[in-house]
Structure formats: structure tokens, C-alpha cells
Amino acid sequence: MSVKQIQPMRIQSIKASIKVSTDEISKGMSTIIDAPVTSNLESCAGLAKTCMENLVETVDSLDGFMN
């Protein structure tokens, strides 16, 4: 049987950090840089945000599995 080694406060901390990061990414690259590559950077940031949001789901699923 699995033993849960991740503390609930650690999980909440991870989720909060990811939320802050994804909120920051949502502001858009045009506020940081205005250049021909801005749309590429925005696309990259959008993909990174999606990955981070998926990570929250993964952490939640792992937490549920370990309970």
C-alpha cells in the first residue's frame, strides 16, 4: 500500500505558486516586449500556461490517489 509523503500544506503551496505564475503569464507578452517575435512568445507562454494548469490537475490526481 502507498504511503502519502506529500503534506497537504505542500500541495496547497504548489497549487498557489502555479496559480500566481499562470496569472502572471496571462498578462501577455506585448506588455513586456513589442517586436516581430511577440506573437511567437505569446504562443509559447500560452503553451507553458496550459502545461502548468495541467500540472495542478496532476498534483490533485496524485493527492487523491495517495489518500
3-state helix, strand and coil shares in percent for the chain, rounded to the nearest 5: 75, 0, 25
Domain ranges in the chain are 17-24+37-67
Residue 42 has pLDDT above 80, yes or no: yes
CA distance 50 to 53: 5
Site of grid cell 506573437:
39
- The helices-and-strands tally (H runs, E runs) of the chain is 2, 0
pLDDT interval class at 26 (50, 70, 90): low
pTM, 2 dp: 0.64
Site of grid cell 507578452:
29
